[in-house]
Chain A
Amino acid sequence: MARTLSPRRRLLTTIAAWSVALLIFFPVLWMLITSFKTEASAVASPPELFSASWTLENYAEVWARSDYPRFFWNSVVISIGSTLLGLAVAIPAAWSMAFVPTKRTKDLLMWMLSTKMMPAVAVMIPLYLVFQRIGLFDTKTGLVLALMLMNLPIIVWMLYTYFREIPGEILEAARMDGASLWNEIVYVLTPMAIPGIASTLLLNVILAWNEAFWTITLTTTKAAPLSAFIASFSAPQGLFYAKLSAASTMAIAPILILGWFSQKQLVRGLTFGAVK
């Protein structure tokens, strides 16, 4: 709903919008600033907005103390792998629910969402035992599967709501022209659904990247992602604010950067059926 504003209102709105945005962003900014301070300056009183002694030593120490690239790579594989696999399973399901709905489609969808309502801690030991027995413990495959299943309901639902916005007439027209089901999906539906699929993909990569319970519980070394990396830096001995900030920055930087670059795509598809 882009509109034009009078110059004065425009200025006021700009100031208001920027203030609010900076306020929301400030904790992240403060963490970033702290990560470049020395430990002593990080807890200085009164706080130093701009430290006199900028330093990279926190990053150097965090880098030296743990195998960051391995954690990073595991995070990449797990979050992207689980999302792609999830899409592969969910796209047909969402398509079918959106275009060939039955009386029970709504219930089915709600049931899917309800599978996410079991608190993770309650099923920790059961799942732990299952993963141990079938050899998925501390494997990337195991985590890809677990996170895929965890986010599958969200993926299906997002795609379903998006697909539903695609007018059925277009499909019928294609069908009249004799397009097969396969052609219908590939040539008609998919291009129209790309924004929805893209934002679903992004949202789920973020959710998977940020998952910090199963990724720690179901791994030891080989498959441990950045959540485990953070768990090795929280609450150590001695002053740790700057080092914690540096480690935190390293853990969230990749996804933050991805998110920033894909912000437009993310917004476009997050309609949840709100667009008429």
Chain B
Amino acid sequence: MSTQSTRLAARLMVAPSVILLFIWMIVPLAMTLYFSFRLYRLLSPDRTGWVGFNNFVWFLKSPDFWLAIWNTLALVGGVLIITVVLGTLVALLIDQPVKGQGVLRILVIAPFFVMPPVAASIWENLFMHPQNGLFAAVARGLGAQPILFLEQYPMPSVIGIVAWEWLPFATLILLTALQSLSSEQLEAAEMDGASAFSRFRYIILPHLTRAITAVILIQTIFLLGIFGEIYTTTQGGPGSASTTLPYMIFKQAIVAKDIGRAAAGGIIAVILANIVAVFLMRGLGKNLDA
């Protein structure tokens, strides 16, 4: 259907995006790659030079490295599971014809509008704080010892906070998908005596597949880079219990001011991200085509 000229026009129209993104990607990437083989410490400008793979070796040999990889995957996986499962349930619930549906939806999507550092400090100080947090007050009210969220369960706490931030996003997309589901089909199934579960399993869930795919893909991209919430709440601790790969890089870049090592960590993170991306594409790619 497309003629030669349309195809040319199409190319030209894609070009600006591609060129801009290519520059945006290649310049920092090239510089990072360069720095990753250099000794470059901000506070010791007199000591510079090529160091081969030393920066990479340092990262890979660091006692925290594998824990950080595990934590990164746990964060991404944990948040994805929570947001997709809860998001589906919440979407089903607020899709029902109930009183005040509009207000209801507004309440549900509110967390998405909260800046991550604000969200993290609200949760840390107003809720999880072992003395002044609301959770501690509730625990005391029940006669129990307050739970030390950030000390004893740092990763689950961080996952919880991030999941709260992203739940509205998942809910919104799933809700949009639900709304396009024809009610006749469901009613027909109900007439045929299909249980609520089987209606969900055989009609609703297949319909949501693509939306779930989109949620997973977009959230993974954002979640792989998360460190702000960790910085605000646990600083990767106690010890290194809640250190993720981006946070480890952050510590090298910001605390130790070792740009070489941070760059090496960045390259490792890109490799990790690509591995994750390949798995994602394998698992989800076909859903996107449908």
**Residues of chain A at interface, number, CB under 8 A:** 96
The reply to whether A17 and B96 form a contact with Cβ atoms under 8 Å apart is: yes
- Residue in chain B with minimal CB distance to A118: B270
Decide if B254 is an interface residue (CB 8 Å cutoff): yes
A256 to B109, CA, bound (A): 9
The reply to whether A270 and B28 form a contact with Cβ atoms under 8 Å apart is: no
A235 to B24, CA, bound (A): 34
Among A43, A154, A273, the most chain B Cβ lie within 10 Å of the Cβ of A273
Decide if B241 is an interface residue (CB 8 Å cutoff): no
CB neighbours of A172 from chain B (8 A): 1
CB neighbours of B29 from chain A (8 A): 118, 123
The reply to whether A28 and B110 form a contact with Cβ atoms under 8 Å apart is: yes
Decide if A96 is an interface residue (CB 8 Å cutoff): yes
- Residue in chain B with minimal CB distance to A86: B17
The reply to whether B93 and A17 form a contact with Cβ atoms under 8 Å apart is: yes
A206 to B114, CA, bound (A): 9
CB neighbours of B137 from chain A (8 A): 45-47
CB neighbours of A114 from chain B (8 A): 273-274, 277
CB neighbours of A117 from chain B (8 A): 221, 224-225, 270, 273-274, 277
B119, B127, B182, B269: the one within 8 Å of A122 (CB): B269
Decide if B61 is an interface residue (CB 8 Å cutoff): no
Decide if B75 is an interface residue (CB 8 Å cutoff): no
Closest chain A CB from B126 CB (angstroms): 6
Q: What string of 1s and 0s marks CB contacts (under 8 Å) between B244-256 and chain A?
A: 0110011001100
Q: What string of 1s and 0s marks CB contacts (under 8 Å) between B83-125 and chain A?
A: 0000000100111111110101111111111111111011101
The reply to whether A274 and B118 form a contact with Cβ atoms under 8 Å apart is: no
B106, B127, B172, B281: the one within 8 Å of A27 (CB): B127
Interface residues on B, range: 35 or more
The reply to whether B172 and A267 form a contact with Cβ atoms under 8 Å apart is: yes
- Within A66-102, which residues are at the interface with B (CB < 8 Å)? 89-90, 92-93, 95-97, 99-100
CB neighbours of A219 from chain B (8 A): none
Closest chain A CB from B119 CB (angstroms): 8
Decide if B51 is an interface residue (CB 8 Å cutoff): no
Decide if B149 is an interface residue (CB 8 Å cutoff): no
A127 to B107, CA, bound (A): 38
Closest chain A CB from B96 CB (angstroms): 5
The reply to whether B214 and A121 form a contact with Cβ atoms under 8 Å apart is: no
- Residue in chain B with minimal CB distance to A175: B1
Closest chain B CB from A238 CB (angstroms): 13
A23 to B281, CA, bound (A): 35
The reply to whether B118 and A248 form a contact with Cβ atoms under 8 Å apart is: yes
CB neighbours of B107 from chain A (8 A): 21-22, 24-25
Decide if A52 is an interface residue (CB 8 Å cutoff): no
Given contacts A10-B98, A21-B108, A100-B2, contact A27 B122 (CB under 8 A): yes
Decide if B9 is an interface residue (CB 8 Å cutoff): yes
A188 to B179, CA, bound (A): 25
The reply to whether B115 and A234 form a contact with Cβ atoms under 8 Å apart is: no
- Residue in chain A with minimal CB distance to B102: A263
Among B126, B207, B224, the most chain A Cβ lie within 10 Å of the Cβ of B126
The reply to whether B24 and A115 form a contact with Cβ atoms under 8 Å apart is: yes
The reply to whether B20 and A121 form a contact with Cβ atoms under 8 Å apart is: no
A156 to B9, CA, bound (A): 17
Given contacts A121-B253, A122-B265, A263-B105, contact A271 B31 (CB under 8 A): no
- Residue in chain A with minimal CB distance to B272: A117
Closest chain A CB from B217 CB (angstroms): 7
Question: Which 10 pairs between the two chains have the least Cβ-Cβ distance?
Answer: A122-B266, A272-B214, A92-B13, A126-B31, A117-B273, A96-B10, A100-B10, A123-B28, A274-B177, A25-B107
Q: Which residues of A contact B (CB under 8 A)?
A: 1-5, 10, 13-14, 16-18, 20-22, 24-25, 27-28, 30-31, 34, 43, 45-47, 89-90, 92-93, 95-97, 99-100, 106, 108, 110, 112-127, 129-130, 149, 152-154, 156, 161, 168, 172, 181, 206, 209-210, 212-213, 226-227, 230-231, 234, 241, 244-245, 248, 251-252, 255-256, 259-260, 263, 266-276
